[in-house]
Amino acid sequence: MKIENIFKPLITPTTDEVFEKLLSTSHLTVERIVSTGQATPADEWYDQEQDEWIILLSGSAGLLFETENIVQVLHPGDYVHIPAHQRHRVEWTDLSQPTVWLAVHYQHE
């Protein structure tokens, strides 16, 4: 068994978010996402086939759901369940430090 750490050295900031798959089965994927100021392009929405549960581990971010008119600000420890096909977008992520997310994507059996 190999022990890993969710806060292991983060990749040097780039222009892209970094997605790292930590665990994957036929019905479940767990990934670490590291954002360094990225946001969803203004004319795009995420519309995922699977449910998603996310927790913000460090940094901060603004999350907007298509059905709401207010950006929800996430801080370390905040989490949210996003049902499949709930259109949403990341309005902003922290520019002063990496924003580390733990995302769990899953399908109902």
> Domains in the chain, start-ordered, CATH in brackets?
18-106 (2.60.120.10)
Closest CA to 52 of 79, 77, 83: 83
pLDDT level of residue 109 (50, 70, 90 thresholds): low
pTM, two decimal places? 0.88
pLDDT digits (tens, 9 = 90+) for 33-48: 999 999 999 989 999 9
